[in-house]
Amino acid sequence: MVKIINGKEISNSLIEKLKEKVDKLKLESNVCPSLAVIMVGDNPASKIYVNNKKRICEKIGIKSYEFVLPANAPESELLKLICGLNKREDINGILVQLPLPPHINEKKIIENIAPLKDVDAFNETNVGKIMTGNFKFLPCTPAGIVYLLKESNIKIEGQHCVIIGRSNIVGKPLAMLMLHNNATVTICHSKTQGLREICKTADILIAAVGKPKFISSDMIKPGAVVVDVGINRDINGYVCGDVDFEKVKDVASYITPVPGGVGPMTIAMLMKNTITAALLQKNI
Ligand code: NDP
What pLDDT score does 43 carry? Answer: 92
Q: Which of 118, 120, 228, 242 is catalytic?
A: 120
Q: How far apart are CA 208 and CA 268, in angstroms?
A: 19
Q: How far apart are CA 38 and CA 18, in angstroms?
A: 23
Overall residue count recorded for the chain in this entry: 284
Q: Where are the domains of the chain?
A: 30-114, 140-263
Main-chain dihedrals φ then ψ at residue 164, nearest 5 degrees: -105, 115
Same fold, 30-114 and 140-263: yes
What pLDDT score does 264 carry? Answer: 96
Peptide bond into 33 cis (omega under 30): no
Please, is 132 exposed, middle or buried when counting C-beta atoms within 10 Å of its C-beta (0-12, 13-18, 19+)?
Answer: exposed
What pLDDT score does 121 carry? Answer: 97
Q: How far apart are CA 25 and CA 228, in angstroms?
A: 35
Peptide bond into 74 cis (omega under 30): no
CATH superfamily entry for domain 30-114: Leucine Dehydrogenase, chain A, domain 1 (3.40.50.10860)
Pocket of ligand 1 (CB under 6 A): 141, 164-167, 169-171, 188-192, 195, 208-211, 229-232, 262-263, 266
Domain 140-263 classification at class level: alpha beta
- Closest atom of ligand 1 to CA, residue 242: 32
Residue 136 and residue 280 in contact, taking contact as beta carbons nearer than 8 Å: yes
Q: Among 106, 166, 167, which is best to mutate for testing ligand 1, by the most ligand atoms less than 8 A from CB?
A: 167
Residue 198 and residue 186 in contact, taking contact as beta carbons nearer than 8 Å: yes
Torsion, Cα 101 187 217 224, to 10 degrees, reads -120
Pairing assessment for the beta strands 204-207 and 225-228 based on DSSP bridges: parallel
What pLDDT score does 77 carry? Answer: 98
Q: How far apart are CA 179 and CA 173, in angstroms?
A: 10
- Extended strands (E) in 41-155: 63-69, 93-96
What pLDDT score does 23 carry? Answer: 98
Sheet containing 93-96, strands listed edge to edge, beginning at the edge strand earlier in sequence: 63-69, 34-40, 93-96
Report the separation in Å between the CA atom of 22 and the middle of ligand 1, taken as the mean of its atom positions: 34
Terminal-to-terminal C-alpha distance of the chain: 45
Main-chain dihedrals φ then ψ at residue 123, nearest 5 degrees: -80, 160
191 is catalytic: no
Residue type, 87: K
Report the separation in Å between the CA atom of 240 and the middle of ligand 1, taken as the mean of its atom positions: 14
Q: Take atom 16 of ligand 1 and give the residue whose Cα is closest.
A: 190
pLDDT digit of tens for each residue in the chain (284 aa)? 999 999 999 999 999 999 999 999 999 999 999 999 999 999 998 999 999 999 999 999 999 999 999 999 999 999 999 999 999 999 999 999 999 999 999 999 999 999 999 999 999 999 999 999 999 899 999 999 999 999 999 999 999 999 999 999 999 999 999 999 999 999 999 999 999 999 999 999 999 999 999 999 999 999 999 999 999 999 999 999 999 999 999 999 999 999 999 999 999 999 999 999 999 999 99
What pLDDT score does 185 carry? Answer: 99
What pLDDT score does 28 carry? Answer: 96
24 is catalytic: no
Q: Over the stretch 183-227, which tens digit does the pLDDT of each residue have?
A: 999 999 999 999 999 999 999 999 999 999 999 999 999 999 999
Distances (CA, A) of 44 to 40, 97, 148, 265: 12, 12, 28, 21
To 5 degrees, how large is the angle CA 254–CA 151–CA 143? 95
The residues, any chain, with a CB within 8 Å of residue 76's CB and separated by 6 or more, are none
Q: Take atom 40 of ligand 1 and give the residue whose Cα is closest.
A: 263
53 is catalytic: yes
Q: How far apart are CA 114 and CA 102, in angstroms?
A: 23
Residue 265 and residue 9 in contact, taking contact as beta carbons nearer than 8 Å: no
Taking the CB of residue 176, how many other CB atoms lie within 10 A of it? 19
